[in-house]
Amino acid sequence: MNKIIEAAIPLFATKGLACVSVKELADAAGVNIALISYYFGGKDNLYAFILERQLALLGDALDSISQEEISPVMKIRRFADILLETYKQSPYIDRLFFMEILSPTKYFDSIVKTAASRLHVFLQDCIKKAVDQGEFRPGIDPKLAAMSLMKILNVSFTSLHFCKGLLDSKEDIADRYMANALEIYLHGVTNEG
């Protein structure tokens, strides 16, 4: 079963659900084609399983951070750190997410939009609390600021694929890129006095 999942993730992330055949999945996993139906009930269910599993990693992070007794800004920083670690462990998570945005499947509303909404609410709450506590400038719209932050953090990874060759090829480029993007954002919203 794990062989199927591991083979399916990069195929779905790079080609999308519609462009991956069951035969291609079976060949990539080195398994009999019937095992995809046996374990998952078909290609579509395998895709839904992978989406849910990948996005659940971020949901678990939100649950964990929400329970921590730290400032809203530290919660945002913790989330960025966990997002970076999640990306390193699951390097196709961003492509799966953006593939759904660019070419939504029947799972967009039930899986992807639900996960994105949950992330948005978490960031929105952190931003609202940071404004209320004076950490962020007054007058910031938490809904819009959360959407901007979501884009900055998520596009950080997608753009890394695009920027190969444009940026130096150090191993820690994702870490440095994320830290830089977050600092630029926080500098713009932080209450300086």
Q: What is the pLDDT of residue 52?
A: 94
Q: What is the pLDDT of residue 87?
A: 83
Q: Residue 141 — φ and ψ, nearest 5°?
A: -85, 110
Residues in the chain, pLDDT under 70: 155-173, 193
Q: How far is CA 32 from CA 22, 23, 38, 132, in A?
A: 10, 9, 10, 58
Q: Which pLDDT score is estimated for 163?
A: 60
Q: What is the pLDDT of residue 39?
A: 96
- Predicted confidence at residue 170, as pLDDT, reads 59
State the DSSP string of 74-124. HHHHHHHHHHHHHHHHSTTHHHHHHHHHHS--TTIIIIIIHHHHHHHHHHH
The 10s digit of each residue's pLDDT in 135-183 is 999 999 999 999 999 888 876 666 555 666 666 665 666 777 778 878 8
